[in-house]
Structure 1
Amino acid sequence: MRADRLMAILLLLQQREQVTAAEVARELEISERTARRDLDALGMAGVPVYSIQGRGGGWRLVGGARTDLSGLTASEARALFLVAGPASAATPAVKAALRKLVQALPEPFRAQAEAAASSLVMDPQRWGASRGEPRPPRFLDALQDAVIRGVQVRLGYVDREGTETERTVHPLGIVAKGPSWYLVANTEAGRRTFRIDRVSSADPTCDPVHRPEDFDLAESWRAIADEVDRKRTPLEARAVCAPRGIGVLRIGFGGRLEVGGATTDGRIEVVIRGNDERTLAGELAGLVEWIEVTGPPGVRDHLASIGTTLVERYG
């Protein structure tokens, strides 16, 4: 988070003629001591910032608030927008300031900086059980670079059955889903998603990517993730839930829960997705205080069997 703060302070200096440590502390919700330490760190890092002592003093950029940030190299500008772009986990203040910063960049850097800002989506929710924190896949940087530069890639890929294929793709964006990385790309067969740890080769070409004008990576990924979730949990159980239990269901089932309207007795209709009847019944068995499962019959039968076993063992 310190890099996030330093960039926010730099942007404040860019926008204003002068800032004080107290103003920085108030803007970023940190202590004045931390603000002074961060301002000193900017100077030590080579940013042309200096302090004015005494009453009415503060911190300024050499040359005033309109100092051009052209000291950034092309790769640094891209990295900045990649880690703090609109789709990242950066603070709202930093994201808003970045939209202004792009106008201060040299013209040759702007297109790639803006492309970097929209090239990555962070989705912290894992699919399935955790398997540790694997290292970033081998071709992640090459594919990220192709997305930002807007060039097609000759992609070698090994599917889950171990079959290796090669095709030319139009990279549109990178997604970090928990510890796994995915490439979203257009192909001759339509839009596809590739697990980057299964990529066996990635050779950029000189041909430009054909990117739909209305493409939005975050929106596209939501649709992809919803489709995958539905394939992973094809079974739907219908139930009615007491209003006070809806919060419990949201915590327990997340995106697998769909909340409907109210019934005549004041309960709420819900649909809960699962992988199979037995497993889903096991998940629902501890929630009988709030819900009544109305279907399918197989789930109700498994719940009855669980209830009988519980009574026999603990009754």
Structure 2
Amino acid sequence: MRTDRLVATLLLLQRREQATAAEIARELEVSERTARRDLDALAMAGVPVYSMQGRGGGWRLVGGARTDLSGLTASEARALFLVAGQASAATPAVKAALRKLVQALPEPFRVQAEAASSSLVVDPQRWGSSRVERRTPHFLDELQDAVIRGVQVRLGYRDRDGGESERTAHPLGIVAKGPWWYLVAATEAGRRTFRVDRVSSVDPTGEPVRRPEDFDLAASWREIADEVDRRRTPLEMQALCTPDGMSRLRMVLGDRLEVGGSTTDGRIEVVIRGYNEYALAGELAGLVEWLEVTGPPGVLDHLASIGNALVARYGGNPPTLSRPTRTPADEESTMDL
């Protein structure tokens, strides 16, 4: 319900000359930390709110108290709708709040403000194990502006091999996926996805975007992400897992794990996606205490080969290892992960 809070925060600042984060938190029935985070998000997005430090300080709306939002500029109104979240994924209550906010805007700003609300999707799930921090690519603002204004662009682009190309694109939306930004656009060759940090030039043509009437950015991105996931992990493996092993499986596999129903012996059916049979067998060899792989046969063969290699290397008569005694400090160290 963040959109409701953001709108309510703005309306509260309009009614008062000044309000502290604690006062906003009490009125909206949220924590003070949440209120501060919302205020910071509004300020960072370009909405004209600012904080006064020191005794008697608080948050103010530039221009003082107002009865409407007509003091917002076009870019500020767009920024508010961007930070509020896309309307296509909103609940009925959030959509109602957005409609009220639209009616408070000057007429020339309304179309672009509504376009901004559906121009961005944030997908926090990373592809792979990359820990790269998200950075703002050079042409992100220009592309987002083209999406909101609905204008075609002449796009310069470098592919993953460094090859340069240029094409006319109809920008449809921007997606933040993990650390990367993507442009979803229509082209002469069909709908395409471009990584924004590989864009080398953006030249608006002034021609309007031909946007499919039924286009939904969030739904379109789900289809794109599912297809990429299938290409990255084309192999599916079936297995049975004991209930006490499910937490380990989820920790190791993340979104590559699909959980099914329970069997008569209490184990759980799972499907695991991977890149190839050998890599998947090696990844799961350490989970055999909880996991019984049932297919495909190639993974079973690789697991048997790995097991034979382990016995050959470490078989013999290994010394008996005593289980170490756990101390209160050991227990404490495993709890806050």
TM-score bracket relative to the smaller structure:
0.7 to 0.9
Give the superposition deviation at 1:199.
1.4
284 and 47 in structure 1: CA distance in 2 versus 1, 3 angstrom threshold: farther
What is the CA deviation profile of residues 84-141 of structure 1, one whole-angstrom value per residue up to 9, with x for unaligned ones? 2237999x99887444322211111111111111111111222223263364222111
- Identity across the alignment (%): 72
Distance, in Å, in 1 between the alignment partners of 2:8 and 2:138 is 32
Give the superposition deviation at 1:273.
0.7
Find the counterpart in structure 1 of residue 327 from structure 2: none
Give the superposition deviation at 1:252.
2.6
Q: Are 1:268 and 2:276 an aligned pair?
A: no
What is the CA deviation profile of residues 133-176 of structure 1, one whole-angstrom value per residue up to 9, with x for unaligned ones? 36422211111000000111111222223322221111110111
The Cα RMSD (Å) is 3.5
Where 2:58 maps in the other structure, the secondary structure is helix
Distance, in Å, in 2 between the alignment partners of 1:78 and 1:233 is 38
254 and 298 in structure 1: CA distance in 2 versus 1, 3 angstrom threshold: same
Q: Is the 8 A contact 1:119 1:144 kept in 2?
A: yes
Where 2:299 maps in the other structure, the secondary structure is helix
Q: Is the 8 A contact 2:182 2:193 kept in 1?
A: yes
Which shifted more, 202-211 or 258-267?
Answer: 258-267
Find the counterpart in structure 1 of residue 107 from structure 2: 107
252 and 93 in structure 1: CA distance in 2 versus 1, 3 angstrom threshold: farther
Q: Which amino acid aligns with 1:25?
A: R
Q: Which amino acid aligns with 1:29?
A: S
Q: Is the 8 A contact 2:87 2:95 kept in 1?
A: no
Q: Are 1:30 and 2:32 an aligned pair?
A: yes
Find the counterpart in structure 1 of residue 59 from structure 2: 42
Find the counterpart in structure 1 of residue 189 from structure 2: 189
Normalised TM-score (structure 1) = 0.80
46 and 200 in structure 1: CA distance in 2 versus 1, 3 angstrom threshold: closer
* Long gaps (5+) in structure 1: 50-61
Q: Which amino acid aligns with 2:212?
A: P
Distance, in Å, in 2 between the alignment partners of 1:285 and 1:116 is 48
9 and 94 in structure 1: CA distance in 2 versus 1, 3 angstrom threshold: farther
Where 1:80 maps in the other structure, the secondary structure is helix
308 and 134 in structure 1: CA distance in 2 versus 1, 3 angstrom threshold: same
Q: Is the 8 A contact 1:181 1:196 kept in 2?
A: yes
What is the CA deviation profile of residues 169-211 of structure 1, one whole-angstrom value per residue up to 9, with x for unaligned ones? 1111011111111100111221110111111221111211111
Q: Is the 8 A contact 1:257 1:273 kept in 2?
A: yes
Q: Is the 8 A contact 1:85 1:95 kept in 2?
A: no
Q: Which amino acid aligns with 1:235?
A: L
Q: How many residues align?
A: 292
142 and 258 in structure 1: CA distance in 2 versus 1, 3 angstrom threshold: same
Q: Are 1:150 and 2:167 an aligned pair?
A: no
Distance, in Å, in 2 between the alignment partners of 1:155 and 1:23 is 44
Where 1:161 maps in the other structure, the secondary structure is coil
Which shifted more, 114-123 or 286-295?
Answer: 286-295
Normalised TM-score (structure 2) = 0.75
Find the counterpart in structure 2 of residue 294 from structure 1: 294
Find the counterpart in structure 2 of residue 253 from structure 1: 253
Which shifted more, 178-187 or 132-141?
Answer: 132-141
Give the superposition deviation at 1:8.
4.4
